[in-house]
A and B are shown apart, each in its own frame.
Chain A
Amino acid sequence: MAELAATHGEGLGRLVVVNWAPEAIGLVRALQGLGAASLVLIGTHAAAAVEASLVAARARGSVEYLAASVGDGVEVFAEFLGRAASVATAGSVIVLPHRGRGETDAFSRLTCTAIHRACRGQPPRIVVAVEDPEATHEFAGLGVTTIFYPGFLRAALLAHACLDLGVLRFMLALLRGGLRVQSWPLPPELRERSFRDACLAVETDPEGRPVTLLGLFDAERTMVVNPGPGRSLAGATGLLVLTGQDT
């Protein structure tokens, strides 16, 4: 399994967070906790006003704060992102809701438009947090990878808690980093085998820790979770693996 370990990356690299505010210091902690090497925070607050909240974060790693907003104009903001934040070279960009100026998700969309232009149509991974799930479709064509609806996350966690505490524990383990969902390449010797064969073959990670095969990625790179033991791996482009332990 040594070759598998070499294929999945560790750490977050450099990240850009747009519409950041001191109230979201928890995000900084979470990113640093997962190994973010460098953070660029962009917000509307004056730099002096956020310095106090960033002291602890800066002790843990590189954190740069820039004051700017898409409210200045999409073109101006795009130019700023490209020039001052080097957004095109970031590993990921997180767009937080920007409250206080009209409809929050509309501003997030303008922000994504600016990022898209700053990267000349080749943006890095963009993760957007929205407040209204109905606004999801508005982000089509802007290179957004993931749209996150925090309200649904809270509701879903509590609803699962009402149903099955074991499942809630599993989800919390996924969220808190004890467990990881990773994509591994498909070993050549398994290409003509079934999903059951792959499950029996992939039982540990390169360090010998137990893992669980959750599913696969088909020829179109579509994730297929729990495809069934008889599913052939022919045409599969990767494996979906659950790693880590939670006790």
Chain B
Amino acid sequence: MGTGREGQVAGDMAGSGSRRWSGWLVAGLVLLTGGVAGAEPARFGTGSKGGDYDLLGAALAADLEAAGTGLTLATETTKGSCENIRRLLDGTLDFALVQYDVAAEAYRASQAHGTEADTRLGGWMCKVSPKLAREAELRLISAVSDSAVHMLVRRPVRLADLDAIGLAPIFIGKDGSGSFETARVILGASGHPLEHLQLFTGSADEALEAMGRRELLMMMRTTSRGHADVQDVLDSGLAALNPLPEDVINRLIDGYPYYRVCPIEPKHYRGGLEYSLPTVCVSAVLLTAMPRAKVGDVRAEAAQDVAVGQLLDALGRVAADPQQHALGLEPRFRDFAEKEPIPLHHAAAQRERRANWTGALEGAAALLGLGLLLWLLRRALRRRGIATGFGFEGQLSNPLVPFAAFVLVVVCSTYVVWWLEHDSNTRLRTLNDSFWEMNTFATGNFSAEALKTSGARLIGAVATILGLGLLAWFTAALTNIFAQDQTRLWRRTHEHLVVLNFREDMLPLIRLLRSPGPTRLRSLHVVVPDALPKRVRLQLGKIKALTIHYDNPEAPENLGVLRLPRASRVIVLGGGSSGLGGGEASSYDPLRIARAVHQACARDPHNLALQGKSGHAGRELTVATSWSPGEQATRVPLQLPVTLVETSEAEPDEIFEPFSGWLIPVDSQQLGYTWLATACRDPAFAEFFSGIVAFSDANAEVYTVPLPAAWQGQSWRALRRALYGVTAPERGAGAVPLGLYRASLSEQTRRPSAHADLRTRLLINPPHDTMVAAGDLLVGLSEDEAALRQIVRHLRLPA
């Protein structure tokens, strides 16, 4: 059988509307009647004997014969792609293997117009004239394999561009082969017509020998990646693979979009390549042709459909045959070149559609299965009480969400841009290239130069915008975490300050505690009553590192969160004493708050651990409480914070006597009156007191600092005289010693605690013969605490 020799049957049946149906009918008839059985064999053009094309042709012929389909291939060795395309066009071959660039050029030639063009050979590959090209309609059956352009350059030369070739001898294959034509257009893309180059005329083996004699600079071969011949050359050390210059690749693909950018990877040549090399690939395709005169001939078309179908079946079988693995077959209908102008054969197109449908159905089934799996998983988790809701609002502050979205954007855009441009863009040869390019885009570095197509640029722009937004979200989420950490830091309940029953006129206290100094670094917890005006709450809310608790401070359970035993100080304010000469009703009673503090401390986990079951907290609420003899003596003392309670005239200090071990009552109103009276008595008092209280700029702040152990046993006179003789080395300011702050003797036998401060004695203006004892602190006036410490550190004992 041969489509070219098929008789013209039923030519009149070629109506445009019914052509398809009639074609099916005829094809069915052909099959039922044994169609191709007993017909002449189909002429199949391969290539040079022993070459890849020849081997593939033989494999197909053998498969068809073994399958007994009735289609017989008569393989014919040829000089390669040029002869094959010519013979397809002139009708002396039914099928042929052709390099796609050659085939596409012939197809383009068939689109040329004008009689003048017909009479000339023109510049198409293999010198196919438009007249010849129009004699038959080329039809693509399938792409079968890939070939890459290998530029082998004599070691140790490396070519940065092809201008360096100059007049050095080069080998680009035999004239008439597809490899030769490809090399010709590559050199043309670099601005070198073959006429100006010194081409080596000989076989590939001879060229290799010439290179060994250093008579040949470069060989250019278009062959499959990993080809044994190239591996041999690399192994011999004669030559190394050279990348095709990027600008040449770009110009080549711009002019001949039948190639695609592809890399030669190290995996293709063991030990011959360290890094991926950019080059161009071109596919070998299986073609058939229908003479123009028979185009539309139903019988001829049907016969060709049947033959093509059987050939595709054979191709699939050969590709799947492990013994034919060396041929590197990868049958494809699409996506093997940047542009694929030759129309797909009708039978091949049908198979492509069928394959697409199958793929779509498989994809849908996979998605459905995945969805079902997730649904089942979620249901199972819910049954086990594990929350599965995403809670988008809750995830807004999670930096992993924008990070994951960023990764998703980069990955998706990587794949899409690579898919769009990997055949044509030398910067996006691999997914790896595309990934890093998209990372650049997504971090805000959009560049129109990096991408070639509008689609890819659009994806790049979207990735840039999304990436910037997600990065901003990511940054904001991180900042939020840091802020929350800082908030947690300021809310910590260790060595913290607690103010209970806060009122408006004590805002200066908060300002002082938050002014520069040691207390500024301590967390501050303020419990405010409901009656506190909203404007004051708002004002408190603006103060940094302050936590407001809206609770009743008389209820011990409300104070539990404050971890009072670990507090540095607790301040209990009176309810309404806002000035001299009068007061308002107290909303919460300081004494009841003090009791609540005691109770809250007794319930604190730390004290519970110390107390055990017999402790204060173990006492249940009941009608009456009985004390067993000696119970108090055996009790482990509670850990209680040093607490200052603002009292008033109505609450004499005596009522706080039960708490005297840890509580200091401060009648601030009476102290105010005393201040006024003292200011009247001692004119200098007011100014001096204001200076030391307000941390004024003068060297008049009062601090207590420990004394060196060497001073123990020395007299106060000696100490003060020594202090008068020293100035702070770095500041030059002096100190005025006021006295000693002495630890009580009873304290030395007990474990240290915050209560030690309460059991100490202040010795201001002590007798001069007072001896400095262990644990004594110096009370002195100085510029600041650091200056006083410096002065004490530089004290010298008297001789």
Contact = CB atoms under 8 A, between A and B. Distances in A.
B509 A154 contact: yes
A153 B689 CA distance: 10
A29 to B, nearest CB: 7
Nearest to B769: A210
B671 A157 contact: yes
Interface stretch (A61-69, A70-78, A79-87, A222-230): A222-230
Nearest to B517: A163
B670 interface: yes
Contact of A242 (B674, B721, B764): B764
Nearest to A244: B765
A112 B331 CA distance: 108
B623 to A, nearest CB: 39
Contacts, number: 288
A14 to B, nearest CB: 11
A156 B762 CA distance: 19
B531 interface: no
A169 B766 CA distance: 15
Contact of A225 (B579, B688, B766): B688
B114 interface: no
Interface in A181-227: 181-183, 195-196, 199-200, 203, 209-215, 223-227
Interface of A is mostly: mixed
A179 interface: yes
A225 B699 contact: yes
Given A175-B674, A245-B766, A165 B684 contact: no
B678 interface: yes
Nearest to B512: A159
Interface in B690-714: 691-694, 698-700, 702-704
B676 A27 contact: yes
Given A34-B677, A196-B724, A214 B758 contact: no
A19 interface: yes
A159 B644 CA distance: 10
Contacts of B724: 196, 199-200, 229
A246 B764 contact: yes
A212 B738 contact: yes
Contacts of A24: 580-582, 673
B677 A167 contact: no
Q: Which of A174, A223, A230 has the most CB of B within 10 A?
A: A174
Contacts of B668: 150, 153-154, 157-158
B734 interface: yes
Contact of B764 (A151, A164, A173): A173
Contacts of A158: 506, 509, 571, 644, 646, 666, 668
A203 B582 contact: no
A11 B766 CA distance: 25
A209 B699 contact: no
Nearest to B511: A155
A243 interface: yes
A225 B571 CA distance: 31
Given A26-B673, A170-B738, A247-B762, A225 B582 contact: no
Given A24-B581, A243-B765, A91 B757 contact: no
B153 interface: no
B220 interface: no
B607 interface: no
B734 A31 contact: no
Given A171-B692, A212-B737, A229-B734, A182 B682 contact: yes
Nearest to B704: A166
Given A24-B673, A154-B672, A181 B682 contact: yes
Interface in B715-737: 717, 720-721, 724-727, 732-737
Nearest to A246: B764
B519 A162 contact: yes
A242 B688 CA distance: 10
Contact of A229 (B580, B671, B725, B782): B725
Contacts of A177: 674, 678
A155 to B, nearest CB: 4
Contact of B782 (A156, A212, A226): A226
Contacts of A125: 680, 683
Q: Which of B517, B734, B766, B777 has the most CB of A within 10 A?
A: B734
21 contacts: A21-B582, A29-B673, A30-B670, A127-B679, A146-B679, A152-B693, A153-B675, A155-B507, A162-B513, A164-B703, A168-B664, A171-B693, A171-B702, A174-B689, A177-B678, A183-B684, A225-B698, A226-B781, A228-B733, A228-B734, A244-B765
Given A30-B674, A150-B669, A225-B698, 9 more contacts: A35-B681, A96-B581, A127-B686, A148-B675, A159-B509, A165-B664, A210-B767, A212-B738, A242-B765
- The 9 A-B pairs with the shortest beta carbon distances in the complex, nearest first, are A155-B508, A155-B509, A225-B700, A159-B512, A166-B741, A92-B680, A166-B704, A27-B673, A154-B668
